[in-house]
Amino acid sequence: MTNEAIRVEKVVVDYPLENSLGIARKLLRRGEVPSKRALDGVDLTIRDGERVGIVGPNGAGKSTLLRVLAGILPPTEGALRVTGTVAPLFEFATGFEMELSGYENVRIRSLLQGMDWEQINQRMPEIVAFSELEGALDQPVRTYSSGMFIRLAFSTATSIDPDILLIDEAFGAGDQHFSIKSAKRMRELMDKGRVLVFTSHNLDLVRSLCNRIIWINKGRIVEDGPADSVIPHYLSNET
């Protein structure tokens, strides 16, 4: 049987609500923390070789699930097991310190991605060349434009050869020139990765990239199966 790459067991994620409203204040005075449930008891297994698309309306829990799989967001309840290296193509700012230089941030982010010092030193020239920021990498990241920051973050995040690639459609990769480069890099990563998990509202793109579709709504899995089955059911219920 194909090896499990991801195992999610009864995962719950609760987000605390803003505390400025009167009802929230009353709850807090009683020792309760008002929250919103983003994922509600999700069970999920993804195996090697699968290309999984996650679909659902805004607020369904798609991005929250990706962040849990990436290890960025710990579950409130439940268990998660991920086997292999993970490249999340979102939350680019995670692990970056604005007062440190570009070079220092590359090293920190690379360590967080699971590289050792030897691997970082080997990959550094490639990261620098891809970012096209060699003249600025000695400067603090706080001095960068938003486009420069995206270049550095994307170049670092995609410098590993991942076993599991997590992509949220809602990320940007700089100007047109760099967007073309980043799109090519993403395709290369998809070809190398054992597993792809992709969230998007573009159902044609999801169908073209994925051989399995998970439809979620209100934090729960509604349907899980082949694209030709799940997508028509999703469209008939969401339109």
Q: Which residue has the higher pLDDT, 166 or 1?
A: 166
**C-alpha of 80 from chain center:** 15
Q: What is the pLDDT of residues 165-210, one digit of tens each?
A: 898 875 555 567 787 787 788 778 777 778 999 998 889 888 888 9
pLDDT at site 87 = 82
**Degrees, nearest 5: CA angle 66-195-214:** 55
Q: What is the pLDDT of residue 92?
A: 64
**pLDDT tens digits along 3-20:** 899 999 999 999 887 554
Angle at 91 between CA 177 and CA 61, to 5 degrees: 120
Share of the chain above pLDDT 90, in %: 52
Given this model, what pLDDT does residue 142 score? Answer: 93
How far are the Cα atoms of 57, 128, 174, 234 from residue 238, in angstroms, in the given order? 8, 44, 32, 6
Element (H, E) at 221: strand 220-225
Q: Which residue has the tokens 């469209």?
A: 235
Q: Name the pLDDT band for 28 (thresholds 50, 70, 90).
A: low
Q: Please answer whether residues 105 and 97 qualify as being in contact, where contact means their C-beta atoms are separated by less than 8 angstroms.
A: yes
User: Burial, 223: exposed, middle or buried (Cβ in 10 Å; 0-12, 13-18, 19+)?
Assistant: middle
- Report yes or no: 204 and 186 within 8 Å, Cβ to Cβ: no
Q: pLDDT band at residue 32, thresholds of 50, 70 and 90?
A: low
Confidence at 75, pLDDT banded by 50, 70, 90: very high
**CA distances from residue 91 to 8, 142, 206, 220 in whole angstroms, order as listed:** 21, 17, 21, 23
- CA dist., res. 73 & res. 52, Å (int): 20
- The pLDDT of residue 5 is 95
Per-residue pLDDT, averaged over 131-159, amounts to 90
